[in-house]
Chain A
Amino acid sequence: MSEKSIGRPSPILLGIGVAYVAILILLPMGMVFVEAFRRGPAEYLDIFAHSDTWSAIRLTLLVAAIAVPLNAVFGVAAAWAVTKFDFPGKGLLLTLIDLPFSVSPVISGLVWVLLFGASGWLAGPMASANVQILFAVPGLVLATLFITLPFVARELIPLMQEQGADEEEAAITLGAGGFRTFFMVTLPNIKWALLYGVLLCNARAMGEFGAVSVVSGHIRGQTNTLPLHVEILYNEYNFVGAFATATILAGLAIVTLVIKSGLEWRFADELSASRRH
């Protein structure tokens, strides 16, 4: 055995690894497109002639357009507070920010039903204010906010921790204001990591199923996001329709992965350490 081969795995291991990823991940992905085109392109394109598909696309875009910017602002504010200052309870705050990742999507929807549903704490006030939360857009947004809350904060916190506060302190000392310092010094330093977090946050927001399923009420054309529409079509045994709709979401996943990999390769130094591979 030559010295170069120390710690190099054998080709057998490579074969096992590649075969596992191919069977576990690549085959299901391919299956989406095989099933969608099973009866030819005409049947595939048929879903785009339905208004339900378009209203699902519109609703998915709307929910993401509200939830993603809100969680991006939260991520930046949380990262600023946590990485630029010392205060008691920081560890607890970090744990709470990560908490939604370890809660079941179904529970992320359930909590809103417990608050706003029948005999919920906030059901009375909402009814008297004539505001519909559940089975309407606000419920979908709240469930999505809960699920995707950690994404941006998690990308920014390790990076801003590494960067420290020296540059900002210099800018302040030289007389720049707080917001000017943020936009001229901090933002250029974190822009690619911010984009990275927004990308992952958006993918999850548009693809979320369990949480929105609980609060949506499944009203076709009204409270049906794309993932929920896939389920409805599937349960109606409209398999081609379900898989054709699924190709839109699979396309979103592929685009997300391509941009994500591009960011990792081009801007590795400007992402947090755990993303540099």
Chain B
Amino acid sequence: MSLAVTSAPRRRNARLLPGFQLSLGFTVIYLSLIVLIPLTALILRPWELGVAGVWDVVTSPRVLAALKLSFGASAIAAAINAVMGLIVAWVLVRMQFPGRRLLDALIDLPFALPTAVAGIALTALYAPNGPIGLWLAEFGIRAAYSPLGVVIALTFVGFPFVVRAVQPVLEDLDSGLEEAAFTLGANSWQRTWMVVLPAIRPALITGVSLAFARAVGEYGSVIFIAGNLPLRTEIAPLLIVVRLEEYDYAGAAAVGLAMLSLSFLILLAVNGFQRLMATPGAGR
């Protein structure tokens, strides 16, 4: 052990361990075949329509409505999960209660349950004749086959991302800070808002953006509950499928490229915001 005392991050000796060329070569070739070349097709194929053609596709009312629904519903679902995910992570980390491990395991169910199964189950639950749908109907709320149904499905698929991002950071949080704040007379709300929240904010933002990104692209759990009416309850991924069924491949690729570019821009903005908010000592 004493031989390897270096304070700088250890440099791997590429000469000592074998397999560098083999493992890196395989990784790069495999990644190119499965991810890079296919995605290049997505980036290049829309332009068969010409720049004006692509613009016409992505600014057509039906595409705009679909993008607005996908991104809007995803933002609402991510906001709901930001609050509820925080509460559930808080409860899981800070409380001991019977069934805690079961609750912890259940969080991952939306990851593990195939989206088509989630889709038909949520539809059965929220349809006008379903158990929750019937109850909501008494208040004149229509959940399934409406934009609200889209939000419900996207909340379901995004929930674990927030909990799983926040949970480890909350576990590692030094309780001494909160005790110090308590000693200084801070009440529980002040301790939560001024001590805990700043520390977990980076993780929370990461979790919420993951949930948002997942929701924007989500297909299986949404198409059953949405009703899929053009201009009203048609999500962007479904519109890609519709274009493909019309053999309009360039049009489908244009919608796909618009979706990816928008998601990319939003993630870029979130990262910029993260960096802006990052102050020394707050989080990592």
- Chain A residues within CB distance 8 Å of chain B: 1, 3, 6-9, 13-14, 16-18, 20-21, 23-29, 31-32, 35, 74, 77-78, 80-82, 84-87, 93, 96-97, 99-107, 110-115, 117-121, 142, 145-146, 149, 164-166, 168-169, 172-173, 177-178, 181-182, 200, 203, 206-210, 213-214, 226-228, 230-231, 234, 239, 242-243, 246, 249-250, 252-254, 256-258, 260-261, 265, 273-274, 276-277
> B19 contacts the other chain (Cβ, under 8 Å)?
yes
Q: Are B112 and A118 in contact (CB under 8 A)?
A: no
Residues of A within 8 A of B4 (CB): 166
> How far does the Cβ of A129 sit from chain B's closest Cβ, in whole Å?
17
Interface with A: B57-65, B103-111, B139-147, B273-281, which one? B103-111
Q: How far, in angstroms, from A164 to B39 measured CA to CA in the complex?
A: 33
Chain B residues with CB below 8 A from A104, complex form: 216-219, 237, 240, 256, 259-260
Main secondary structure of the interface of B (DSSP, over half): helix
Q: Chain B: residues with CB nearer than 8 A to chain A?
A: 4, 10-14, 16-20, 22-24, 26-28, 30-31, 34-39, 41-42, 45, 84, 87-88, 90-92, 94-95, 97, 101, 103-118, 120-122, 124-125, 130-132, 155-156, 159, 164, 167-168, 171, 175, 178-179, 182, 188, 191, 196, 213-214, 216-220, 224, 237-238, 240-241, 244, 247, 249, 252-253, 256, 259-260, 263, 267
Specify the chain B residue showing the minimal Cβ separation from A230: B116
From B91, B168, B253, residue with most partner A Cβ within 10 Å: B91
| Further contacts, 6 of them, CB under 8 A, given A6-B191, A28-B118, A29-B113 | A25-B109, A74-B27, A103-B217, A107-B42, A120-B41, A227-B116
Residues of A within 8 A of B240 (CB): 104, 106-107, 110, 214
Indicate which residue in B14, B16, B124, B188 contacts A172 across the interface (CB closer than 8 Å).
Answer: B16
Q: A96–B31 contact, CB under 8 A?
A: yes
Asked if B179 and A149 make an inter-chain contact with CB atoms under 8 angstroms apart, the answer reads no
Q: Is A105's CB under 8 angstroms from B220's CB?
A: yes
Closest partner residue, chain A, to B220 (CB atom): A209
Name A168's contact: one of B17, B94, B122, B267 (CB within 8 Å): B17
